Structure 1
Amino acid sequence: MRKTTYEEVINSFHTTFQDKVEIPESLEREWFMKAVGKYSFEIASIEYDEELGEFDTKLDRYVIDTLGWMMKVFYQERELSKVNKRISIVSKDLSIDGSGSSKSAAKSELEHAQFELERLLYKQTATSYTE
């Protein structure tokens, strides 16, 4: 039986946005590992072999997409932080705000990603009525 690979999760992550900036592979890998840890802690244990670059089983599509959305939230948190750190220049004749609408757009995108992730996680959480 074929096992789920790192690339499958990365491809799912890449489908959640369109960006002109290349994301460093080391940063994507860190977000991936954080997503695997978070999923294992909050929902169900999943085992990933870093040497082979694959999980110990074939994950269903919903789990792969959940990991991708977890990575998207990490990405959006970083984008919002970057926008918040832009410098604003204000004088009596001129006002330049580097964040302006970018800040509200980044915050809105983060909130959407968090909402989508919460929706995915909720559907995978066992209820107290589950045997």
Structure 2
Amino acid sequence: MEKNTTYTEVINSFHSTFQDKVIIPEGLEKVWFLKAVGKYSFEIDSINFDEELNEFDSKLKRYTIDTLGLMMKKFYQERELSKVNKRISIVSKDLSIDGSNGSKPATLNELEKVSEELDEMIYKQTPSAYD
């Protein structure tokens, strides 16, 4: 008998999207996870997660696990872009000080890349109107 997919399996998929180890508060990861489950259930197919057992009610396909992980990555990237946007930026005729050290374009590009990949994954899993 196959074991049900666990919260940890999705978190591991999410963490595999980073080259360097990033420390993220566990509570924030859980919020992103639950948002991903809700988004997946609404946009693609219903999945059920038991918060007490920290597992789904079935064995999820690998592609579903990776989709949830990428949804979490998108939430992470949106937060990173927000953080970069809040850094001080002063521009005048004679002086330009940018507290983001040019990281805004890189962060925005990463968010756009993740969004495109996620949109493609969602599209591939969305039932067609002919089904």
TM-score over 0.5 (shorter chain): yes
Aligned 1:1-131 pairs, distance under 5 A: 1-90=2-91, 94-130=95-131
Within 2, Cα distance between the matches of 1:80 and 1:53? 30
User: Residue 99 of structure 1: CA displacement?
Assistant: 2.4
* Alpha carbons of structure 1 residues 20 and 60: separation in structure 2 relative to 1, 3 Å: closer
Deviation at 1:128, TM superposition (A): 1.2
**Whole-angstrom CA distance in 2 between matches of 1:73 and 1:90:** 30
Distance, in Å, in 2 between the alignment partners of 1:122 and 1:11 is 23
The sequence identity of aligned pairs, in percent, is 72
Alpha-carbon distance in structure 2 between the residues aligned to 1:91 and 1:129: 57
SS at match of 1:96: strand
Q: Return the offset for 1:92.
A: 6.8
| Length-normalised TM-score, structure 2 | 0.93
Deviations 1:24-65 (A, max 9, x none): 000000000000000000111000000100000000000000
With 74-83 and 84-93 compared, the bigger mean Cα shift is at 84-93
Aligned residues: 130
Shift of 1:21: 3.9
* Separation (CA, whole Å) in 2 of partners of 1:69 and 1:107: 16
Q: CA deviation at 1:89?
A: 3.7
Shift of 1:88: 1.9
Question: Which runs of 5 or more residues in structure 1 are unaligned?
Answer: none
Q: Shift of the alpha carbon at 1:18? A: 2.8
Amino acid at match of 1:66: T
TM-score by length of 1: 0.93
Find the aligned partners of 2:81 and 2:121 in 1 and give their Cα distance.
Answer: 22
CA RMSD of aligned residues (A): 1.5
Structure 2: 5+ residue stretches without partners: none
Shift of 1:120: 0.5
